[in-house]
Amino acid sequence: MMCQSNTLQGPDLHTGKWLRSGNGGSSSCAGDQHPQLESPGPTGSAGGTPSRRTRFRLQFPQLALRRRLGQLSCMSRPALKLRSWPLTILYYLLPFGALKPLTRVGWRPMSRVALYKSVPTRLLSRAWGRLNQVELPTWLRKPVYSLYIWTFGVNMKEAAVEDLHHYRNLSEFFRRKLKPQARPVCGVHSVISPSDGKILNFGQVKNCEVEQVKGVTYSLESFLGPRVSTEELHFSQTPPGNSFQQQLVTKEGNELYHCVIYLAPGDYHCFHSPTDWTVSHRRHFPGSLMSVNPGVARWIKELFCHNERVVLTGDWKHGFFSLTAVGATNVGSIRIYFDQDLHTNSPSYSKGSYNDFSFISNNNKEGIPMRKGEHLGEFNLGSTIVLIFEAPKDFKFNLKAGQKIRFGEALGSL
C-alpha cells in the first residue's frame, strides 16, 4: 500500500527529536499507530531540515512557559500585577532582547506608561515627607545642603537666611523664604508669575482642551471638575453655553486663557497670588503623584488630571480666575496658607473623587481677598502651577515657551 509523504511537525519536547507525520498529524499507512521519529540532520542539509538557529528557537520549552502563563492569567488582578511587574522591568532593562522569547508564547509586558503608573508614588512621597522632617545634626547640615545646592543650582544669596546651619531639616530648607528685594513685584502688568519656574505652555483655551506641553492636551472639565455654582462666585449669572469652556466665560467678548509653570527641585518652592482677586472655592482632587517633569508630561496624556491637585476658584476684575497647584512625586504636601482644613496625600482615597470647600459663609460673604504678590501657599519640592482665567480678547502674554521665569515677573497684560 502506498503511503502519503510525511512532513515535519516539530521537535519532541522530551527527546529533542523531530516528529514526522502525514496529513492531519497522523500517518496514512496501514498499521502505523505513532508518528515516526527522525533525528535532525546537519545545518543546511537536504530535505528541509531547519537550521541550528531554528532548532534552538523551536526547542525552547514553550509548553512549560504556556502553563506558567496560564497560571498567571488565573490570578487576581493585584496579584497578577505584582507577579508581572518584576518581569516587565527585566524585559525593558536587559540588553539584546533577552526576554523577547516570552512574547512568542503569549506573555505581554506591561506598557512603560502602565509600569510607571503602578509605582507606589504616594507611599514613596509620604516616606520622603517623613524623611524631610528628620532633624539633621549640625555638622551634617552643610554637606547635605551643599550637595543639593550644587546638584540643582540653588542661589542661596537670594535666601532670607543664607547660613545653612539655620535649617534644621530638609523641609525647612526646601521652604526657605527669600529676601524682600530678591523678587520685586511688577506693578504695571495685570498678571504676574506666581512662582519661579519654567513656562511649559500658554495661550487661549480651545475646544475645551488645554496643552500640558506642546502637542499633549487634557480635558478642561476633567482638570477643574464640575463647574462651581454661581452662588459661590461674585460675578453675575453666566450666559447659557453649549460647552464647559463657554460656561466659564462670564462676559461677552472675553476669552479663556491658560498658563502652565513647572517648578524644578532647585526653584523657590512658595507660590504667590498672581493678581488681585477673590478666592471663593477650593476643590481638592486626591490622586497619583507622578513626576510632572516636562519629559514625563510629554509621555503621559492627561498627566495633570491623574495627579493630586488643589484647585482654587474665584474671580478678578475681568471674570473667572483659577489657580491650581498640581502635586508630583515627593510633593504630596500642598499647603494653602489660609486653608487649615486642607490635608493632602492621605493614605487612602477613592479614585476620581474630590472634596469641595466654600470660603463664602454667613460670616464671610466676600470670600478670601488676595493682593497681587501676596503669599498663597507652598510645595515641599518642585511641582506645577496652572492658571486658567478669563480676560478680554486683547489680553497678550509676554512669554516664550520654555523660558525661565521668576516670581513677580509679568505674564501678560491688556
Candidates 21, 196, 291, 318; catalytic one: 196
Secondary element (H or E) of residue 116: helix 112-117
Tens of pLDDT, residue by residue over 14-32, are 444 444 444 444 444 444 4
**Residue 406, all three cell numbers:** 521668576
Average pLDDT of the segment spanning 238-258 = 81
Domain of residue 148 covers 113-175
User: Residue 170's pLDDT is what?
Assistant: 87
| Residue 410: pLDDT over 50 | yes
The pLDDT of residue 217:
79
Q: Is 87 exposed, middle or buried (0-12, 13-18, 19+ CB in 10 A)?
A: middle
Tell me: do 153 and 284 sit in the same domain. Answer: no
Q: Which residue from 308, 285, 287, 284 is spatially nearest to 358, judged by alpha carbons?
A: 284
Model pLDDT, residue 149: 93
Structure confidence by residue, pLDDT tens digits, 378-403:
887 768 899 999 999 999 998 988 89
Q: What percent of the chain has pLDDT over 70?
A: 67
Task: Note the pLDDT of residue 38.
Answer: 44
**Model pTM score:** 0.72
Distance separating alpha carbons of residues 45 and 38, to the nearest angstrom: 14
Q: What is the pLDDT of residue 258?
A: 94
The verdict on residue 63 lying in a domain is no
Quote the mean pLDDT of the chain: 76
Alpha carbon distance 13, 67 (integer Å): 14
Look up 196 and say whether it is catalytic. Answer: yes
Q: Which residues pair with 412 in a beta bridge?
A: 191, 397
Could you say which of 193, 280, 288, 383 is catalytic? 383
Q: What is the pLDDT of residue 137?
A: 94
Q: Of residues 368 and 130, which shows the higher confidence score?
A: 368
Highest mean pLDDT among 78-87, 238-247, 269-278, 303-312: 269-278
pLDDT at site 109:
63
Asked if residue 20 is part of any domain, the answer here is: no
Q: With a cut of 50, say whether residue 352 has pLDDT above it.
A: yes
Ranked by mean pLDDT, which of 31-35, 121-125, 162-166 comes out on top? 162-166
> What one-letter code names the amino acid at 346?
S
* Residue at 307 is within a domain: yes
**What mean pLDDT comes out for the span 341-364?**
82
Q: Considering only 137-146, 150-159, 323-332, which range has the smallest mean pLDDT?
A: 323-332
Q: Are residues 274 and 139 in the same domain?
A: no
To the query of whether residue 272 is one of the catalytic residues in this protein, the response is yes
Quick one: pLDDT band at residue 167, thresholds 50, 70, 90? very high
Question: Does pLDDT of 172 surpass 90?
Answer: no
Tell me, yes or no, whether 252 and 120 share the same domain.
Answer: no
Angstrom distances, CA of residue 225 to CA of 105, 140, 168: 44, 45, 39
**pLDDT value, residue 13:** 42
Q: Are residues 290 and 319 in the same domain?
A: yes
When pLDDT is cut at 50, 70 and 90, the band that residue 344 belongs to is confident
| Residues 265 and 342 placed together within one structural domain of the fold | yes
Active site residue 163: no
Is 317 part of a structural domain of the chain?
A: yes
Q: Which comes out higher in pLDDT, residue 64 or 396?
A: 396
- Give DSSP secondary structure letters for 176-243: PPBPGGGSPPPSSSSEE-SSSEEEEEEEE-BTTEEEEETTEEEEHHHHH-SPPPGGGSSSPPPPP-SS
Can you tell me the mean pLDDT for 175-201?
A: 89
**Within a domain: 95:** no
- Rounded to an integer, the average pLDDT of 358-380 is 87
Same domain, 149 and 219: no
| Domain contains 42 | no
Where residue 232 falls among pLDDT bands split at 50, 70, 90? Answer: low
How far apart (Å, rounded) are the C-alpha atoms in residues 221 and 228?
A: 11
Residue 265: pLDDT band with limits 50, 70, 90? confident
pLDDT score of 303: 82
Same domain, residue pair 203 and 293? yes
Q: Pick the catalytic residue from 258, 269, 272, 281.
A: 272
**141 with 268, same domain?**
no
400 with 333, same domain?
yes
- Assess whether pLDDT exceeds 80 at residue 195: yes
Q: With 70 as the cut, is the pLDDT of residue 255 above it?
A: yes
Instruction: Report how many domains make up the chain.
Output: 2
Residue 143 has pLDDT above 90, yes or no: yes
pLDDT exceeds cutoff 60 at 202:
yes
Question: Residues 341, 397: one domain?
Answer: yes
269 and 121 fall within a common domain? no
> Between 303 and 70, where is the model more confident?
303
C-alpha cell at 350: 477613592
For residue 21, what pLDDT is reported? 47
Do 345 and 210 belong to one domain?
Answer: yes
